Amino acid sequence: MDTEVSQLGPIDPKRARFPCSIVWTPLTFITWLVPFIGHLGICREDGVILDFAGPYFVSVDNLAFGAVTRYIQINGDEVR
| 0.95 surpassed by pTM | no
CA end-to-end span of the chain: 11
Q: Domain for residue 6, yes or no?
A: no
How far, in Å, CA of 65 to CA of 48, rounded?
A: 16
- Each of the 80 residues of the chain gets a pLDDT tens digit; together they read 444 445 778 999 999 999 999 999 999 999 999 999 999 999 999 999 999 988 888 999 988 899 999 999 998 777 66
Q: Domain for residue 62, yes or no?
A: yes
Q: Domain for residue 4, yes or no?
A: no
Q: Domain for residue 80, yes or no?
A: no
The domain of 58 spans: 15-74
Structure-derived torsion over alpha carbons of residues 48, 53, 54, 58, reported in degrees to the nearest 10: -10
How far, in Å, CA of 24 to CA of 20, rounded?
A: 13
Q: How far is CA 23 from CA 38, 43, 78, in A?
A: 10, 7, 19
Q: Domain for residue 29, yes or no?
A: yes
Contact status, residue 49 vs residue 40, Cβ threshold 8 Å: no
- Per the structure, how many domains does the chain have? 1
Q: Domain for residue 5, yes or no?
A: no
